Structure 1
Amino acid sequence: MNKIPAIDRYIARLIFFPMIGTLILSAMLLVLEKMLRLFDFVATEGGPVSVVWRMLANLIPEYLSLGIPIGLMLGILLAFRRLATSSELDVLKGVGMSFGRLMRMPYAYAIALAALNLAIVGFIQPYARYAYEGLQFELRSGALGASIKVGEFTKLGDRMTMRIEESHDEGRSLRGIFVRGENKDGQAVSATAAGGQFLATDDPDTIILRLTRGVLIHESPKFPVPRVLTFDNHDLPIPLPQIESFRLRGGADRELTIPELFVVGKDENEPLQTRLESRANFHFRIVEVATMLLIPLIAIALAIPPKRSTSSLGVFLSIVMLVTQHKINQYAEDMGARGAVDPLLALWVPFLLFAALAIWMYYTVAHVPGGQPIGALERVAAKAAQKIRAALSFFQRKQPVS
């Protein structure tokens, strides 16, 4: 059994830690940004807080699919930047190790993560997205108890109104309850209670509201005056509002797996717009995964600064290139879905141009003596930094001494 060479283990460690750190950080930032909006949405709809965590859990696959390419890019780039700035890269090249040899571990990571990303965007994310949309539907429809909002009068069916002052333990404990119900005979029952809770029954269309420490008023045309009853406990049956079933998975192309997208895109029985959207989303997902195989080439090309320089322009530019490519793919998908351009051409032509750029950048660094694919940008950035430092020094000298 062949052991992994020491140099490969060393490069693998250099890549691993910044890659994992970047992936976790980017996922956390995306989750935090979405969490605030979800808390606001759930609070507006009156749902329990636990729904926020369930919705965020269903968004994690989508965030991982975005964070994995960035983590891979920065992991490889920072690892080779460290090798370059510490002169270890020159030593490795001096003992006969070419860039092609050093690319083994970057491509091992790239292939493994591309396969993982394919599984996420192709099979896991569609089901997670459908579950997320289902939770949103249940919140809006009231299937999670969201139809009863704290501090508001809520209609339950055609003949019952309810209001609660406080809700604790995710709706299991209620405080300050007012309920009024009427029937077709003109009879009405009003009740106020200090507390209460909902209890399930054998009838799926009815629940029991158990009231504690309250007063019940029964009105009827047969009674000369309303009847008043004080109680410690009283069970009040409440008919559940009718809730329509959530649609089947596949109502949006993001909820279809890659094989399902392929089938729908080829099905002549489907409307033309549906086929275009499915084809565009199919090619979008494949291109996003294929782009990961170009990341090692770009990362290494941007990781190596000019001699006697510690410029970090390559780090900034790598993120700009990756985000720009992603946005171009999104725009191309939209164009393909609208039928303005064939989805195959809309997605794959930009990818091939990006691939040509990545290969040229790598070839320049690896095979052109002294090659620097962003040398011109490095020189411009160096001159700009020099001018900024000179301007700052000038203003500092002009400031009066107190």
Structure 2
Amino acid sequence: MTYVVTVDTRIPEGAPEMDPLQRAGAVALIEDGFDSVEAIEGPDGMEVDLLDSIVAVYPGGALLKVFVDAPALEFAEEAVRSVVGELLERSELLADWHIERCEVELHPELAQESLDAANGPDAPPDDPADRKARHAGPPTAEDDDYDAEAQAETVRRQMLALADELRSFSPVMFGVLDDEDDEDEDDEDEDSVSEFAVSPEDAKLAAGALVYATDILVDELFQDVQTLTQEETNAAECDGPLWHFEDLPERYALQYDARFARRFLVTVIAMTTRFTDGSFQQLSCVAEELALRLLLNRTNVTLETFGLLDDGVSAALDAFANNVYEDMDHEFLYDDSMDGIDESAVGAALGVAPMSFKAWFTPFNEGRYVHPFAADESEGAAQ
């Protein structure tokens, strides 16, 4: 059975965070290490096949997704922990790194439900899409021992604790009035001012929800990459369930293959890294505009799932989107009647940036950052 093992590796405690050059070097070292491994010896001499790996490096370490074929979940986790530990020890530059966690991420209640219901009347649906829809939803009031209010409060606290990690954005970006705004509004009616202002509490919850949803989005995109890789197909022709690539502009669905999926995943990671490390200035390319659209959708769905999406938080997210997006031209990609507007006289008059599929990963200008893995390649380099 194929397992996806998540490994979170961290730099030594107290060490300075890695700069972009160091992160690129860490990616190369880890990927080269995986390239040299075909199979891993698991417990009791059991052989575990290494199918694929994805490496995402951030300033404080690296997040790895390792795809293995193993007879049991425990074998997969132990074998991957062993090989990652050996790869780190083997490299002088990574020898001091440590493994924070190494696990196959499963929802315990859903996993137990599937085990208990196997071959029974409550067995999970055979169709993968039906299973995805079933598992994507929250537990219901009919589930034993499920307390919706307690779960919502737990998630709310988690989101609030994560808010400070969104270092690139102040509360003002979420619609909170700053001190100057307050002074300017002193002479105006307070009720009319408060009607449009977002409270600091709502802004903080919205910020934390974005960080919370980032983890979910990245994990789901990893799964989409694996699905497209295994089926050697594209989003339009894929038989397996996809979390997000079906939500990109439909007209290009035949182009969303495994190679594109990897580039898009790296783009999401690069964009959200800039969100959290304090270096974000502007969205860099069309792919990042679409990536933010997916992140905002995932954030709204997650908040709504736990009953946390009230008017104040929704207004905070709307303000965030309005402040981060320079324009909404990317929405033309979802309207077939606007196909080619970027190449038309009307588009030129409106200042619409190139939006053809081949331009999605092209920086809007020289000052924008696109990750080298995702950046457009020359034909020779691609070959």
Between Structure 1 and Structure 2, which shows a larger proportion of strand residues? 1
Whether the TM-score (by the shorter chain) exceeds 0.5 is no
TM-score if structure 2 supplies the norm length?
0.25
TM-score if structure 1 supplies the norm length?
0.24
Whose Rg is larger?
1
Between Structure 1 and Structure 2, which shows a larger proportion of helix residues? 1
